[in-house]
Chain A
Amino acid sequence: MSKETKLDQPASAPILEVRGLQKSFGSIEVLKDISFSVTQGNVVTVIGPSGSGKSTLLRCASFLETANGGDILYDGEYALKDGVYAEKKDLNRFRTRFGMVFQNFNLFPHYSVMKNICEPPMLRGCGKEEARERAAQLLQKMGLEGKEDAYPCQLSGGQQQRVAIARALALEPEILYFDEPTSALDPELTGEVLKVIRQLAADRMTMVVVTHEMAFARAVSHRVVFMADGCIVEEGSPEQVFEDPRQDRTKQFLSNYTK
């Protein structure tokens, strides 16, 4: 409910704002002047050819890579300002605002499903009972009840990815990043993961999703960002980007998917 009301306040700062972001690996410029923002309750999908910098963008936003220039703001507060990061304790505070779901799940193999989900909140001071209760609710939401005591190696890829989503949600992030959440899955398992993400979108979870699943991107997102060669080439509503792309580069890219 409160989320709805917040949505109607245009004055409130976007949850994530990126301005003029730059990132180079050695002499290769991977991100060149990237600017975009994500407001509360919105789903932004990022599409684009391999190597265009989509993962790097999410990795910069989640502090897994060190950007070389630009600004990153969470709720209007600078995490990165003009290429300079905030202090470590502030970065840790910003870390509590986002969650990340990786292509390869990156579950902890030596932990049970329950412990994978419960330990991070408990390390942040959440009580054991509360953490377990929340984990149980999330597992139910992910369609994984009864898997509490399983180990990741005993689960299918689709189940592992849903555990990873539950693990990220257990920290109650304001925004969730997905980096090709279904790319490592067998085709018949992508549906169950996409369904869960759709459900989150319906619950108005704020998300940035890098994906190659065009039908999904179209159905779920409020805005679509098309990246190529480290730049945002085109950005707009899914209808606009998919049905009436303005840039030749976008048309060319999308034609690979409609064949």
Chain B
Amino acid sequence: MSLMTMIAKMSEGLEKTCAIFFLTLLFAIPLGMIVALLRMSKNKIISGIVRFFITVLRGTPLMLQLLAVTYGPHYLFGADISRNKLIPVVIAFSINYAAYFAEIYRGGIESIPKGQYEAAAVLGYSRLQTFMRIILPQVVKRILPSMTNEVITLVKDTSIAFAVSYEEIFTIGKQIANSQTSFMPFVVAGVFYYLFNFVVDRIMGLFEKRLNYYS
């Protein structure tokens, strides 16, 4: 198989890799905020439970979580294994990444000085206004570097979907590698992930630059 056909074949997985990447961000970014707010709840029971789930999600391999979400329902309830693997993949990735994002958000929120809340309270901002207008924008700026790290990791983690044979780039590359007994597909995959992250890094850099108007 020529390099060109190999690249062409693997590109067919590009769409699926992008689907995992963007859908995970779409769900994990807001879900992470909900998890972070619950984690910071004054109610000890709620924060305790959420904290436990966060430690489980961060303390066990994403691949294991992916297998559990994809095949768990089958073993537990005899449900059909979903034909469209995108759904379990996105669910597993979103929950896992939400746990990581939540801890980043929490760190960001807790790093905002108490005085910001107090000034807002005296100036008549409601709790929601204080959060949306005063706290959140400052949190976004503070957490952007950590978020960039996570997003870069996510690009690479999409390859874990090969564990449930979801045909993204890495899965296709592995199939070709097996049938052709060649290492070349892995090199192609590596180059692909590198280029993807090169773009991600540039875009996140732009965001950081836009928020550089104050320090």
A interface residue numbers (CB < 8 A to B): 62-64, 92, 95-96, 98-100, 102, 104, 106-110, 119-120, 123-124, 151-153, 167-168, 171
A102 touches B214 (CB 8 A): no
Mark each residue of chain B from 91 to 133: 1 if its CB lies under 8 Å from any CB of chain A, else 0: 0000000000000000000000101101111111100010001
Q: Does B47 contact A (CB under 8 A)?
A: no
A154 to nearest B CB, angstroms? 8
B214 in complex: contacting residue of A98, A109, A120, A124, CB < 8 Å? A109
Contact B141 A120 (CB under 8 A): no
Residues of B within 8 A of A (CB): 113, 115-116, 118-125, 129, 133-134, 137-138, 141, 213-215
Q: A110-B137, A119-B133, A151-B213 are in contact. Are A95 and B119 (CB under 8 A)?
A: no
A120 and B124 form a contact (CB under 8 A): yes
Residues of the B chain whose Cβ atoms lie less than 8 Å from the Cβ of A124: 124
Chain B residue with the shortest CB-CB distance to A173? B122
Q: Are the C-beta atoms of B122 and A95 separated by less than 8 Å?
A: yes
Pair A110/B214 contact, Cβ less than 8 Å: yes
CB distance from A113 to the nearest CB of B (A): 11
A110 to B215, CA, bound (A): 8
Chain B residues lying within 8 Å of A168, measured Cβ to Cβ, are 122-123
| Contact partners of A120 in chain B: CB under 8 A | 123-125
Alpha-carbon distance A160/B31, docked complex (angstroms): 37
A63 and B119 within 8 A (CB)? no
Q: Is the CB of A110 within 8 A of B124?
A: no
> Given the complex of chains A and B, what is the CA–CA distance between A95 and B122 in angstroms?
7
A33 to B168, CA, bound (A): 71
10 residue pairs of the A-B complex, CB under 8 angstroms, read A62-B122, A63-B121, A98-B122, A99-B122, A100-B119, A108-B116, A108-B134, A110-B141, A110-B214, A167-B123
A100–B122 contact, CB under 8 A? Answer: yes
- Chain A residue numbers with a CB within 8 Å of B124 are 92, 95-96, 120, 123-124, 171
Contact B214 A151 (CB under 8 A): yes
Q: Which residues of A contact B119 (CB under 8 A)?
A: 100, 102, 106-108
The answer to whether A64 touches B125 (Cβ under 8 A) is no
A102 closest partner in B (C-beta): B115
Q: A151-B214, A153-B214, A153-B215 are in contact. Are A123 and B116 (CB under 8 A)?
A: no
Known: A64-B118, A109-B215, A120-B125; 4 extra A-B contacts, CB below 8 A, are A64-B122, A106-B118, A124-B124, A171-B124
CB pair B129–A123 under 8 Å, yes or no, is: yes
Residues of B within 8 A of A63 (CB): 121
Asked if residues B125 and A123 are in contact (CB atoms below 8 Å), the reply is: yes
User: With A64-B122, A151-B214, A171-B123 given, is the CB distance from A106 to B116 under 8 Å?
Assistant: yes
Tell me the nearest residue of chain B to A124, going by C-beta.
B124
A151→B137 CA distance, assembly (Å): 15
A104 touching B116 by the CB < 8 A rule?
no
Chain B residues with Cβ below 8 Å from A96 are 124
Of the candidates B118, B133, B138, the one whose C-beta lies within 8 Å of that of A109 is B138
Q: Across the interface, which residues of B come within 8 angstroms of A108, CB to CB?
A: 116, 119-120, 134
Chain B residue contacts of A123, Cβ below 8 A: 124-125, 129
Chain B residues with CB below 8 A from A152, complex form: 214
In the bound complex, what is the Cα–Cα distance between A104 and B134 (angstroms)? 16
Residues of A within 8 A of B125 (CB): 120, 123
Identify the 8 closest CB pairs spanning chains A and B, nearest first: A106-B119, A106-B115, A120-B123, A100-B122, A151-B214, A153-B215, A110-B137, A109-B214
